[in-house]
Amino acid sequence: MNKRKTGLEAANSSGEWQKTQYSNLIRYVPSGTYYARVRVAGKLIRRSLKTDVLTVAKLRLGDLKEREREAVESRDSASKGRMTFGGCVVIFKTQTENSRLLKPSAKHYRYEVLDSIGKSTRASSKVGWALEDSDG
């Protein structure tokens, strides 16, 4: 009986991917770059950690897991029930921060727009969303 291989098993058979002793951390052999292979909310995510040093990859893996889980939580909260303006701002900031399609200057511009909205409306003090921590 011919058994179908999953993504990582098929890649391992060609010898391009190497398992590490750490869970959720794999290495692409031709370049030596480490990748995170994480399952978040039932979805398998494989992202480059942009390093070929194991100790750096371990640190970046934890950060990536946390960012991905926060992104999923913010998307889930947006799809459920009522949303406050403060909640919208939090989701917008998270999506802007996690977007790989935006250049740093575009992210900085979006944070500046949020700052100006916060300064021009008195709703920011009532809703309780703070922008001081948004370093773009």
Taking only the tens place, the pLDDT of each residue in 27-61 is 999 999 999 999 988 899 999 999 999 999 999 99
Taking only the tens place, the pLDDT of each residue in 53-112 is 999 999 999 999 988 888 887 777 767 766 777 878 888 888 898 888 999 999 999 999
More confident residue, 98 or 18: 18
More confident residue, 66 or 10: 66
pLDDT of the residue at 9: 58
What the block records as the tokens of 95 is 């999506």
pLDDT of the residue at 49: 94
pLDDT of the residue at 4: 56
The residue ranges of every structural domain in the chain are 7-64, 82-136
| Contacts of 57 by beta carbon, 8 Å cutoff, 6+ apart | 25, 34, 49, 51
**In terms of Cα–Cα distance, which of 29, 28, 31 is closest to 47?**
28
More confident residue, 82 or 6: 82
Q: How far is CA 74 from CA 3, 16, 91, 94, in A?
A: 38, 35, 6, 8
